[in-house]
Chains A and B, each alone.
Chain A
Amino acid sequence: MKAQSVTKAKRKRPRGWFTVLEVSSPVLAVLFAMLVASIALLAIGKNPLQVYGTMVAFCLGRADSVVNILYKATPLIFAGIAVAIGFRASLFNIGVEGQYAIGATCAAIVGFSLKGLPALVHLPLTILAGMLGGALWALVPIWLKVKRGVHEVITTIMLNHTAYLLVHYLIAGPFMDKTQVIGAGGAGSPRVRMPEILASARMPELRGFLESLGISMPQHSSVNWFLVLGLLAAVLYWYFIWRTPLGLEVRAVGHNPKAAEAAGIPPGAVALKAFLLSGAVAGLVGLSDLLGYFGYFDIDFPKGYGFTGIAVALVGRNGALGIVLASLLFGFLSRGGLGVQVLERVPMETYYILQGLIILCIVIATDVLRRYMRAQEKREEAAADV
């Protein structure tokens, strides 16, 4: 037995340069993906450097772009967290798409139908409705996975398609806003949408608060308090995963459900909780657009946040800070895509090509890095085992 003072020595964190590698690998992967995407640009006769240059200038050189990036990043933060919670439990929640559609539906219904409530009550209630809707839509896939071993990927994708159809029906059918005034302001036919959300359920913009701090905001762009909520959610997510017993259980089940089971942690129950939590967060994804900008739910509601959320979670490596940064990155790419479409006539679809490429490069880079680090650590452990 070694009579060794163990306290400080044994809690040594991995060396600094490990962290540098960990941080730089996603960055390098993204850059490499952009390099590959350049091939597509070259194929249509565009100069990649010029395109990327325009993108950067457009996004960072204009105040309204910066604000817009923050606005676009907000739903992605929630989507990334939702997917990441699933990943922590080794579950793949591709259903964020459908979950946020249903969540937005529930929030919209609560938002326009409960009249006479003060905002202090109505808004939180609406948000809660969104979370509940998302969690509900996540229930069937996780139930089937835990009880019958059905892989959640196929069921969630099926439910995504189902959600689109259901939402379409609800918007165009029973909940269609028939009180719209035709002809006012140039509208030729009624929009297919639900009634407007009451003012008491709308999320205020950050404009007022920022201007009171002396920061002036560009005229036509907006970002709302959901951004702050998103950052708060990221902090809560970090705390949940790393500082709570349930978070430990989620990670244990994610890494080795059989060992967790033998230790007395019920894998099915933990997976269920994690996935429902993921669905609840997913329900928040559409609320920034719904309650903070549009004010009504229509069939052209933005789609695709769910898939981008997967990319965000992977680029951010399931970490809270990473997810926030990755959301900003994809907000940047999205805004930049608009910019280069207008200014350089490059199709916006490059955005999706980049997304797919980034995911691939990230996971490859992560895997290569992990293997390398493991070899290093093994060397250290073997040295200690004398």
Chain B
Amino acid sequence: MERTDTVLAFQGVTKRFPGVVANADVSFEVCQGEIHAVVGENGAGKSTLMKIATGLYQPDEGQLVYRGRPVVFRTPGQAIAAGIGIVHQHFMLVANFTVAENVILGAEPPRRGLVDPKDAASRVGELARRYGLRVDPAARVEDLSVGEQQRVEILKVLYRGADLIILDEPTAVLVPQEVEELFEHLETLKRQGKTVIFISHKLDEVLRVSGRVTVLRRGRVVGTVEARGTTKERLAEMMVGRPVLFDLKRSDRPPGEPYLVLEGVSATGGGRTVLRDVSFTVRSGEVYGIAGVEGNGQTELAEVIMGLRPVSTGRILLGGETVTNLPTRDVRRRGVAYIPEDRHRRGLALPMTVWENCIIGFHRSPEFARGPRLVFTGIFTAVEEAVRRFDVRLASLDSPVQNLSGGNQQKLILAREFRGSPKLVLAAQPTRGLDIGATEFVRQQLLDARDRGAAVLLISADLEEVLSVADRIGVIYNGHIQAEFDARGADPKVLGQYMTGARGQSAEEATPGVATGREEGGRRAS
């Protein structure tokens, strides 16, 4: 790889928001034709930096130098015109538009203000063929798999003639096989003279595919190193500032009786079957991890257990008692704690105060309410205790919860849910968007609950998390538990095969006569 000229240089870039400095004096260079990785944990400032590079934000101090000239991008349009394109972590696709419409939006072929669907489709198809990105231009984006949607995002960028392509956490939603395909695409792009910035926190992949790596921590650049000359551990240490030891403590006590049992549970949603004949058991004192790529029924699984979605067939038992289709309140009353996967949507009422969010769901218990009266002494004693126990850092219990950081919000949810010594903990994507410190804390809390005898159901798209926290693992694909494994000694490659449906029961086998209408056997996008 030749390092000729610098394509993009960040020089002293600083960006501030109320209460936080997202980027502080960031300086590094990206060279022509390289794949340059930018790593850092959640909140390190990677996304903000890229938003500056693509014109969504402007730096408060410092500047960008693009191809030797200082530039300021005031709008995304200017960055695009300069040749910088970004594939966002959360796809920016209009769900009910076609692939072609999504690609040409904002840069429509000049036909005197008209849009010709056939013409657009053929142009996009041509582009896709040239770069080897297989996707149907006339397909609606909401019908595509996640991997295919990512290809559309890449096409968008290429269609606009981008020379510098930024990929923000591209592998977060892909399975191992799709990751391989993505890396092939990146090599193709490199051969065609493009430059790539690769943002990730998956250090294995970063070391595999990139030439140089820049590490950010708390908004600052820690250093830029050659990928060849460094290790995962070294990078992790740079990211966090201390040696990272994911040292989770767990007891060796054998698990108890089965506590949560699902038998043949099926559910539908949006006109299709989202859960098919799901059966598994979680015992008291063990962690059962559900591994799988998002969009295979994990959300719906949590919902049926919590009574937020109806079960069409099958049974759910809790401690021997049938709880299928019970209202949520009754499920929770039986000692079930729920850590939802989207804490902003399902976990907290953001404009309400810390103490209110801390007692929601328990607000009618005798210590908090007597008849039509709320008992504030009881409430505040309990909330203060919980906040202290779970290390929730805040200025005031009366603050709206939306002012807390993501990590503190998640800890607050834990404080709320764990207060009553639950017998079942349902944790869905519990460490998503959290920094390493908070992630460690949450995982340890789950293990502590397990050691106290609770049954813990951990649903996570992060395979590493499942492998390190769970005792047993079930792989979910296409709404069905395809296989179960012991966590100790489980082979990630085998797990990956089940996660993609390369092995295991396909939809046709599960429900004869029901056509899925998909030839690739790819996953539905969520």
Task: State if A and B touch, Cβ cutoff 8 Å.
Answer: yes
Q: Is the CB of B408 within 8 A of A385?
A: yes
Residues of B within 8 A of A27 (CB): none
- B397 — nearest CB in chain A belongs to which residue? A10
Asked if A184 is at the interface of the complex by the 8 Å CB criterion, the answer is no
Q: Is the CB of A378 within 8 A of B18?
A: yes
B2 to chain A, nearest CB (A): 44
A256 to B340, CA, bound (A): 14
- B407 — nearest CB in chain A belongs to which residue? A385
Asked if B248 is at the interface of the complex by the 8 Å CB criterion, the answer is no
Residues of A within 8 A of B352 (CB): 251-252, 255
Residues of B within 8 A of A375 (CB): 18-19
Q: Is the CB of A245 within 8 A of B364?
A: yes
Cβ < 8 Å to A, chain B residues 367-403: 368-369, 372-374, 380, 384, 387-388, 391, 393-400, 402-403
Question: Which of A10, A244, A262, A377 is in CB contact (< 8 Å) with B306?
Answer: A262
Q: Is the CB of B19 within 8 A of A379?
A: yes
Residues of B within 8 A of A384 (CB): 393-395
Residues of A within 8 A of B308 (CB): 261-262
Q: Is the CB of A1 within 8 A of B388?
A: yes
Among B236-244, B312-320, B324-332, B447-455, the stretch that binds chain A is B324-332
Range for the number of chain A residues in contact with chain B: 35 or more
B261 to chain A, nearest CB (A): 22
Q: Is the CB of B399 within 8 A of A377?
A: yes
Asked if A11 is at the interface of the complex by the 8 Å CB criterion, the answer is yes
Q: Is the CB of A245 within 8 A of B328?
A: no
Among B124-132, B341-349, B476-484, the stretch that binds chain A is B341-349
Cβ < 8 Å to B, chain A residues 230-272: 243-246, 248-249, 251-252, 255-256, 258-266
Q: Is the CB of A376 within 8 A of B18?
A: yes
Q: Is the CB of A262 within 8 A of B340?
A: yes
Q: Is the CB of B349 within 8 A of A264?
A: no
A1 to B408, CA, bound (A): 13
Asked if A374 is at the interface of the complex by the 8 Å CB criterion, the answer is yes
Q: Is the CB of B363 within 8 A of A249?
A: yes
Asked if B436 is at the interface of the complex by the 8 Å CB criterion, the answer is no
Q: Is the CB of B19 within 8 A of A383?
A: yes
Residues of B within 8 A of A262 (CB): 306, 308, 328, 338, 340, 346-347, 361
A261 to B348, CA, bound (A): 11
Q: Is the CB of A377 within 8 A of B374?
A: no
Question: Which of B331, B387, B395 is in CB contact (< 8 Å) with A383?
Answer: B395
Q: Is the CB of A245 within 8 A of B403?
A: no
Q: Is the CB of B349 within 8 A of A10?
A: no
Interface string of B15-44 (1 = CB under 8 A from A): 000111000000000000000000000000
Residues of A within 8 A of B332 (CB): 263-264
With contact pairs A262-B338, A264-B329 given, residues A386 and B393 touching in the complex (Cβ less than 8 Å): yes
Q: Is the CB of B19 within 8 A of A378?
A: yes
Asked if A6 is at the interface of the complex by the 8 Å CB criterion, the answer is yes
Q: Is the CB of A263 within 8 A of B19?
A: no
Q: Is the CB of A245 within 8 A of B374?
A: yes
Residues of A within 8 A of B364 (CB): 245
Interface string of B348-363 (1 = CB under 8 A from A): 1111100010001101
A6 to B404, CA, bound (A): 17
Asked if A149 is at the interface of the complex by the 8 Å CB criterion, the answer is no
With contact pairs A255-B349, A255-B352, A385-B405 given, residues A245 and B369 touching in the complex (Cβ less than 8 Å): yes
Give me 19 A-to-B residue pairs in the complex whose CB atoms sit less than 8 angstroms apart, sorted by A's number: A2-B391, A7-B380, A11-B396, A11-B398, A12-B396, A13-B398, A252-B356, A252-B360, A256-B350, A263-B332, A264-B329, A264-B361, A265-B329, A266-B328, A374-B400, A377-B399, A378-B403, A380-B399, A382-B405
Interface contacts beyond A6-B384, A258-B345, A382-B19: sample of 13 additional A-B pairs, CB < 8 Å, sorted by A: A2-B391, A7-B384, A13-B398, A245-B364, A251-B352, A252-B360, A259-B349, A262-B346, A262-B361, A264-B329, A264-B361, A265-B361, A266-B327
A-B pairs with the 5 shortest C-beta distances? A263-B361, A382-B19, A264-B329, A375-B18, A378-B19
